[in-house]
Amino acid sequence: MKPLRVFFTGVGGQGTLTATKLLAETALEQGIEVNAGEIHGMAQRGGVVHSFVLLGGYHSPKISRGEADVILGFEPMETLRALSFLCHDGLVLSSEDPVPPVSVSTGRETYPPLGHIKSETIKYSPKAQFIPCITLARKTGVVQTANTVLMGAFFSMGVLPLGLDVLLDSIKKRLRPALVEVNLEAARLGAEYVSRHSQE
């Protein structure tokens, strides 16, 4: 396959690292060369989480500025903050549902307008897609599946040499039985959303 660098950005507690591991394990099982990287420690205390999956023969465990073929943003403001990592002609897939930092929720700072986040993103990634991940995840009854909504969207876009069916199989195989159904539904919701919006 054509080598591909996938950059994950999100907020501690959103399942960014779970999604990272899911992509890395799925790709390895499909015979793709994988290297992935993450940083632990401060993540679960509401800080920013960056992680990386490098497919197709890279050695590095991280992605530098201007190198990411794809940015998967699990939180829109963090997508904006991570844009400098995108390569020329790269693709951004992002949640459009904000998770405000404490400074914003307590009124000390202001969250950037979603319109600004989207226009800045589209400037560098004309095909960028914004997905209401949390809103869609609520439909499954488990809001924590918002990360899987984004993964479903990603696998259905034809950027990876792996389709949505591969993700669904991997979810069945790797997640705890109690979590499988809701995550399958979340992945499908994400995929449907982008297919509807690509046609528009």
- Locate 116 and state its tokens: 């600004």
Size of the site for other proteins (CB under 8 A): 60
Q: Does 132 bind other proteins (CB under 8 A)?
A: no
Is residue 14 within 8 A of residue 148, CB to CB? The reply is no
Question: Stretches 41-49, 129-137, 157-165, 183-191: which one binds other proteins (CB under 8 A)?
Answer: 41-49
Question: Stretches 35-43, 133-141, 158-166, 191-199: which one binds other proteins (CB under 8 A)?
Answer: 35-43
Q: Which of residues 160-199 bind other proteins (CB under 8 A)?
A: none
The CA distance from 78 to 180, in Å, is 28
Q: Does 88 bind other proteins (CB under 8 A)?
A: yes
Q: Does 37 bind other proteins (CB under 8 A)?
A: yes
User: Which of 7, 8, 74, 85 touches other proteins by CB under 8 A?
Assistant: 85
Q: How far, in Å, are 82, 127, 148 from residue 123 at the CA level?
A: 14, 10, 26
Q: Does 59 bind other proteins (CB under 8 A)?
A: yes
The CA distance from 134 to 74, in Å, is 9
Q: How far, in Å, are 46, 79, 103, 140 from residue 8 at the CA level?
A: 16, 9, 23, 23
Q: Does 18 bind other proteins (CB under 8 A)?
A: no
3 state SS for 128-170:
CEEECHHHHHHHHCCHHHHHHHHHHHHHCCCCCCCCHHHHHHH
Helix (H, G, I), strand (E, B) or coil at 77: helix
User: Which of 116, 172, 173, 197 touches other proteins by CB under 8 A?
Assistant: 116
Q: Does 126 bind other proteins (CB under 8 A)?
A: no
User: Which of 62, 93, 118, 151 touches other proteins by CB under 8 A?
Assistant: 62
Is residue 150 within 8 A of residue 190, CB to CB? The reply is yes
The single-letter DSSP state of residue 54 is E
User: Which of 4, 19, 48, 189 touches other proteins by CB under 8 A?
Assistant: 48
Interface contacts to other proteins, rule CB under 8 A: 11-12, 21, 24-25, 28, 33-48, 57-62, 64-67, 77-78, 80-81, 83-88, 100-107, 109-112, 116, 120-121, 123-124, 143
